[in-house]
Amino acid sequence: MSDKYNKEEPSLLQKIQNQTGCLFLIIGIAMLAFVLTDLFSSGTSLFSSNQNNVGSINGAPVSYEEFNRTFEEMKEQLRQNNPGMTIDESVAQQYRAEAWNSLIESKAIEPQYAKLGLVVSAAELEDLTVGANPHPQIQQSFRDPQTNQFDQPRLIQFLKQDINENPEAKQSWNSFQEQFTAGLVAQKYQELVASSYYATDLEARVKGRDNNQTVNASVVSLPYSNIADSGIIVSNSEILKYAKQYSNKYKQDASRDIEYIKLEVSPSVEDSTRMLEWAAEIAEKFETTNNDSLFVSSMGSETMFDPRYKSRGSFSPQIENRIFDNEKGKVIGPFQQDGVYSVFKVLDFGTDSLRSVQGSHILFNVAGTDTAQAEADAREVLAKIKSGATTFAAEASTRNFDASRATGGDMGWIREESGAYPTKLINRLMTSGENNYVIVRSRRGVHLAKATSAVSRKTVKVAIVDQRIFASTATDGFYYQKAGEFLSNASGSQSFEELAENMGLTKRIASKITEERRSIPGISQSDKIAKWLFENTTKEGSISPILDVDGSYVVAKVTKIRKEGLPDPEDLRGEIELILKNKKKAALLLPKMNDALASATTAEDLSKILNAVITPVPAASINTGSLPYVGQDYKIIGTILGTAVGKNSTVIEGNTGVAVVFVNNANEYQAEDIKSLKTQIQMESKQNATGGIRNALTEKANVIDQRYKFYN
């Protein structure tokens, strides 16, 4: 924020302190950074003048140092707001994008605000913080937990007591003030743009007509399909000439195509056995340790030690009963689920303040308001269950539409006040007794339900040591060796596809990869592939080294390199050839149609002369998608709507044939309220404008993102 608020007049901070003796509480957003590593992996310094940029904004390069400095600032704020937080790769990737967006904001978007002189004054900030109109963001941060209302005395008391005791408070306030002010300026810009939109009476009438007006017409056409394609030749020069004429439509970005194979490194049977042995060894040691929290930490458990007591329903159904039914000090496991091997130790038992029960249900939907019929259906199904004509699980698997559909109606353990199921249903299960059926009405419908356990208030404290299975060095080496075998043969006489098929692999393809759009099917982290793909030394036909991506090994081959501008004619042939063939067919059909129209005054006359079918169009509108016997031809539809009643058009060179339109009449319609239509048009325009402001400013700034070169 400008020093204006700190130098030219008493700062907002000082004014608040003078009035209330307090400083506004930090409502900053926790931001983080990721330490960049392996900067010299290619053997060439990334800090050389021509390799040190992560992209450009508004034509100005963005250096690695500037980008990294943004990361470091975010990381420092993260440390202050979240001491001890672990930064994993997924979070790092998220905030790499945040850092980049921050640079776009400062270099491309905020200058546009400045050009219009948009600022937030100190008086505005004061009013939005401790004034009569506190901002919702501030109100949300200081709500009374009992009443959920904004508690200004609590804010003032907190700030009076803490501001002078916390030396970081002022710095944090300044950081928040910058973010808060930037958000307010952006909001002003959006409102300014949105307020420039308005709607006229003419626009409203046109919209009302387009929404409701339909036209009755007759169409006489000579389809292009009447002339065989085989007799029409389109040359490359004709395709290129047409593409140049509509270059905005056909101009392409520089892009590349690849074909590739991906070998996913999956743990072997031997790896599973190794993990099972590890878990068994852990279980043995776990039983004798006297310091459970230290043991969990020292064993590198993925689940941290949690001293809290857990209620029923806190564990996987496959292991929960064993945990709750065992004695204090007992070790349960090893247990494997979704590739995670776990060992549990029961530390203590407690008593829950709320009850829990395990139950199952079948839901009968209420059609309309006929609850009585749904209850009758439930009683009928209950009778069949008791007689053995059907089963509870079978009925639940066809009637239920919640998670219990896949479990035969089993809802698992349900705790009072959990909100997972209707309160009426939970209360009845709590009092019905184990395995007794009940029929209960709720907001969801009618439930046929039963408690499948006794009511429990039992809680348990458990220590867990768990590890996800991973591929051993030997397993990893096996896949790497297979990738190496593929690579060594990839430049031979066999095609990429043939080689993949012979080795039992699947060839995949990715088309039109650009430096901005680097998405590759089946690859979540594609930057390492993009880094190789867009190197200066990578040519058409180049084969990559073995790339370690997403825990898999990838070998790729460049199949196509496209330069920015118009594509080659052969690349455009599939899109343009039919258009040009139809134009040549139209040139043959137009004289015939014009000659016939010269002596015809009605659709019937023209039809007889040409021996062509009349296509009746009883209700054409702006929303008409296709015409009978004609197909999707917006030129003909547009001509129908643009021709006066009782008149006919000239010969139209449509998308599907040459045609003449005869408009019979305009169907009557109910006119809409002009005022409402104007409001609707204005609201739609404002919404579209507001939603596209940032994208428009970013596009105007010609942002080039090449961060992928620095990350794997």
Last residue of a domain, one of 504, 536, 562: 562
Nearest in space to 534 (alpha carbons), one of 252, 256, 251, 262: 256
Residue 209 in domain: no
Whether residue 136 sits in one domain with residue 22:
yes
Residue 702 in domain: no
Whether residue 434 sits in one domain with residue 335:
yes
Two tokens at 703? 């942002």
Residue 115 has phi, psi (to 5 degrees) of -60, -30
Last residue of a domain, one of 507, 535, 562: 562
State the CB neighbour count (10 A cutoff) for residue 163: 20
DSSP of 651-711? -EE-SSEEEEEEEEEEPP-PPPPHHHHHHHHHHHHHHHHHHHHHHHHHHHTT-EE-GGGG-
Whether omega before 61 lies within 30 degrees of 0, making that bond cis, reads no
Q: How confident is the model at residue 137 (pLDDT cuts 50, 70, 90)?
A: confident
Angle (deg, nearest 10), helices 674-700 and 169-195: 130
Whether residue 157 sits in one domain with residue 36:
yes
Rounded average pLDDT over 177-186: 85
Nearest in space to 656 (alpha carbons), one of 239, 228, 217, 225: 225
Higher pLDDT, 165 or 238: 238
CATH of the domain at 442: 3.10.50.40
Give the Cα separation of 481 and 265 in Å (integer): 12
Whether residue 31 sits in one domain with residue 170:
yes
Domain total in the chain: 4
Residue 695 in domain: no
Give the Cα separation of 152 and 148 in Å (integer): 12
Using the predicted structure, report yes or no on whether residue 550 has a pLDDT greater than 70.
Answer: yes
- 252 burial (CB, 10 Å; 0-12 / 13-18 / 19+) is middle
State the CB neighbour count (10 A cutoff) for residue 430: 16
Residue 448 has phi, psi (to 5 degrees) of -100, 115
Q: What is the pLDDT of residues 618-638, one digit of tens each?
A: 999 888 888 877 888 899 999
471 with 266: CB under 8 angstroms? yes
Give the Cα separation of 321 and 615 in Å (integer): 72
CATH of the domain at 506: 3.10.50
Q: How confident is the model at residue 315 (pLDDT cuts 50, 70, 90)?
A: very high
Q: How confident is the model at residue 173 (pLDDT cuts 50, 70, 90)?
A: low
Question: What pLDDT does 367 receive?
Answer: 67
Q: How confident is the model at residue 42 (pLDDT cuts 50, 70, 90)?
A: very low
| Residues in CB range of 54: below 8 A, 6 or more apart | 62, 63, 64, 67, 100, 705, 706, 707, 709, 710
**CA–CA distances in Å: residue 513 to residues 225, 256, 540, 610:** 37, 5, 14, 50
**Percent of the chain with pLDDT strictly greater than 90:** 62
- 553 burial (CB, 10 Å; 0-12 / 13-18 / 19+) is buried
Q: Which structural domain, as residue segments, surrounds residue 186?
A: 4-193
Residue 88 in domain: yes
Whether residue 46 sits in one domain with residue 165:
yes
411 with 404: CB under 8 angstroms? yes
Whether residue 346 sits in one domain with residue 484:
no
Residue 199 in domain: no
Q: What is the pLDDT of residues 265-310, one digit of tens each?
A: 999 999 999 999 999 999 999 999 999 999 999 999 999 999 999 9
Whether residue 111 sits in one domain with residue 12:
yes
Chain centroid offset of residue 226 CA: 47
Question: What pLDDT does 169 receive?
Answer: 65
Q: What is the mean pLDDT of the chain?
A: 86
Whether residue 462 sits in one domain with residue 364:
yes
Residue 333 in domain: yes
Whether residue 144 sits in one domain with residue 29:
yes
Q: What is the pLDDT of residues 352-408, one digit of tens each?
A: 999 999 999 999 988 665 788 899 999 999 999 999 999 999 999 999 988 899 999
H, E, C per residue of 378-412: HHHHHHHHHHCCCCHHHHHHHHCCCHHHHHCCEEE
Whether residue 487 sits in one domain with residue 369:
no
Q: Which of 338-347, 388-397, 687-696 has the lowest mean pLDDT?
A: 687-696
Q: What is the pLDDT of residues 398-447, one digit of tens each?
A: 999 888 999 999 999 999 888 889 999 999 999 999 999 999 998 888 99
Last residue of a domain, one of 436, 468, 500: 468
Whether residue 357 sits in one domain with residue 309:
yes
Residue 312 in domain: yes
Residue 679 in domain: no
One-letter amino acid for residue 518 of the chain: R
Q: What is the pLDDT of residues 570-623, one digit of tens each?
A: 989 999 999 999 999 999 999 999 999 999 999 999 999 999 999 999 999 888
Q: What is the pLDDT of residues 530-543, one digit of tens each?
A: 999 999 999 999 99
Question: What pLDDT does 1 receive?
Answer: 36
Question: What pLDDT does 369 receive?
Answer: 58
Residue in this structure with the two tokens 């593929």, named with its chain if needed: 486
Whether residue 346 sits in one domain with residue 229:
no
Using the predicted structure, report yes or no on whether residue 40 has a pLDDT greater than 90.
Answer: no
